[in-house]
Amino acid sequence: MIPPCDMLVFGGTGDLALHKLLPALYHLHRDGRLPKDMRILALARKSLSRAAYQALAERHCRAQVARADFDADTWQRFAERLDYLAMDAGQSADYGRLARHLGQSCQRGRIYYMATAPDLFEDIAASLGTAGLVTEDSRIVLEKPIGHSLASAQAINAAIGAAFAEPQIFRIDHYLGKETVQNLMALRFANALFEPVWRAGHIDHVQISVCETLGVENRGAYYDRAGAMRDMVQNHLLQLLCLVAMEAPVRFDAEAVRNEKVKILEALKPIQGLDVRDKTVRGQYGAGRIGGHDVPAYYFEKNVDNDSDTETFVALQAEIDNWRWAGVPFYLRTGKRLAKKTSEIVIQFKPVPHHLFKGDEANRLLIRLQPEERISLQLMAKTPGKGMHLEPVELDLNLAQAFQQRRWDAYERLLLDVIEGDSTLFMRRDEVEAAWQWIDPILQGWQQHYQSPRSYPAGSSGPEQAHSLLELGGREWLG
Ligand SMILES: NC(=O)C1=CN([C@@H]2O[C@H](COP(=O)(O)OP(=O)(O)OC[C@H]3O[C@@H](n4cnc5c(N)ncnc54)[C@H](OP(=O)(O)O)[C@@H]3O)[C@@H](O)[C@H]2O)C=CC1
Ligand SMILES: O=C1O[C@H](COP(=O)(O)O)[C@@H](O)[C@H](O)[C@H]1O
């Protein structure tokens, strides 16, 4: 039985709240997983009545939720949970009004979801504390990226830590809520098969790619200050790298899992100074075509500076200085406006030590997160008939087919974890800071030695230099 609680969404009219959080909460409500009388209070500066907010939420949920899952009765009951209060979260004076609005529910557990820009996080936490709105039963959820550098992340973490204890803080990275990402842990730690070969002696290299066809949409103002490194690499891609590389935790609980992830982040070999020219590639999309439509160059997107040198693409070669991974390159790649949307991890094994057959290829394990959830192992097999002709075949596990039930969106899983108080799939303070510790020198190196991103046409596979990064080691991007 989950104790009663309410959720307050700072930034309740924003893109994240309307496109991700509300549809996820609707699904949880529909499945009967929300605490019975949980209220959801959206907060933003815009003046809106409760009814107007409910209508706004309905419009977005209808668009996001599959038609078969949306029905008027369920919506009506969900909408009764929704409330709205206009306030400026940066003004401490507004928190008295918030406390009065909450009234009796001040006695209940509360989840504060920070769906605003990170520069408001410190003020919000301090004002909640001063207004007496933080109790033992309170939790706070922070969206990524936390800060824009190590120093700013430390300042945010310190300010949040002054009002909330670490177990009350949930730093969300929605990639950790994706089913296949969790399946990566199941694959590694529930199957004895892989452990003996999951190391430098048997693995040639690892590739982690998150490629998007979308541009910056209506998030130009945020994105132009962040760029792909802060938006994607510092969090999602490094989290995936941690899950591939970490040692088996002693238990599947928050502390044990996060202890192992931190060790990996701390073992990342620094990339600094002129290294950035050999080990990283920054790109920015120019005009091009995606899905049969012309799309503009990044610097013509709404709210983006016309002279912007913000990167919309990053490729880099990381190395982990520890016993298991010494000498194994981890190639990371992410970008917007690329030819196709795919998120995947490829583990490329080394070739057999002695070649008996012509044309044999090394084994490869593919873990695909998007568009379909799939794990597939490429093995060599003999083609039927005379002679020993080999071809790669796939041992394929299509997770959607294997488990024929509705796939949960990452935010559903993670919001439920917050409600239930399970922080295993959330980032701890030291994890976030260790990630920035590695990212900061790259950003500084870029400022000094790599100011201008390489241009790539929208709809392509990114800048040429991203291919050269692998070709130098006799490799290529797979997929
Ligand atoms: N959008 C996405 O897909 C993702 C977003 N994130 C993160 O989530 C956070 C929110 O992003 P996103 O939804 O895209 O941003 P938006 O710009 O779309 O939304 C920002 C929200 O904050 C509100 N807001 C801004 N200033 C204040 C203020 N002073 N007081 C109260 N409310 C305020 C805005 O409403 P108003 O102007 O009316 O006050 C709006 O509701 C960011 O930290 C982002 O990095 C993370 C992953 C994905
Ligand atoms: O956090 C973010 O993630 C999305 C990509 O998420 P996905 O689940 O669709 O792969 C990205 O578009 C956005 O820029 C970033 O802030």
Distance from the Cα of residue 171 to its chain's centroid: 11
Q: For this structure, is 236 an active site residue? A: yes
pLDDT at 1: 67
User: Does one domain contain both 315 and 248?
Assistant: yes
Within a domain: 153: no
Pocket test for ligand 1, best of 16, 302, 411 (most atoms within 8 A of CB): 16
Question: What is the chain's mean pLDDT, rounded?
Answer: 95
Is the domain of 202 the same as that of 129?
no
Q: Which residues contact 451 (CB under 8 A, 6 or more apart)?
A: 309
302-322 pLDDT, tens digit each: 999 999 999 999 999 999 999
Q: Are residues 202 and 340 in the same domain?
A: yes
Give 92's contacts (C-beta < 8 A, 6+ positions apart): 123, 126, 127, 130, 131
Note the ipTM here: 0.97
Domain of residue 212, CATH code: 3.30.360.10
* 164 in any annotated domain: no
Tell whether 200 and 81 lie within a shared domain.
no
Q: Which ligand approaches the C-alpha of residue 227 most closely?
A: 2
In a domain, 396, yes or no: yes
Choosing from 205, 236, 293, 355, which is the catalytic residue?
Answer: 236
For ligand 2, whether the C-beta of 179 sits within 6 Å is no
> Could you tell me if 34 and 78 lie in one domain?
yes
Q: Quote the pLDDT of residue 310.
A: 98
Domain assignment present for 412 = no
Helix axes 238-245, 179-189, angle to 10 degrees: 20
445 found inside a domain? yes
pLDDT at 396 exceeding the cut of 70: yes
The string of pLDDT tens digits covering residues 431-447 is 999 999 999 999 999 99
Measured between alpha carbons, how far is 219 from 217 in angstroms, rounded to an integer?
6
The pTM assigned to this predicted structure is 0.95
The predicted pLDDT at position 289 comes to 97
Band of residue 105 on the pLDDT scale cut at 50, 70, 90: low
Between β-strands 342-349 and 364-370, what pairing exists: parallel, antiparallel or unpaired?
antiparallel
DSSP label of 119: G
* Cα(177) to centroid(ligand 1), Å: 20
Q: How many domains does the chain have?
A: 2
Is 381 part of a structural domain of the chain? yes
Q: Structural domain of residue 295, as residue ranges?
A: 176-404+428-471
Instruction: Let me know whether 293 and 379 are in one domain.
Output: yes
Structural domain contains residue 156: no
Q: Residue 107: pLDDT above 90?
A: no
> Of 143, 161, 196, which closes a domain?
143
Tokens for 17, please give them: 């709240």
CATH number assigned to the domain comprising residue 66: 3.40.50.720
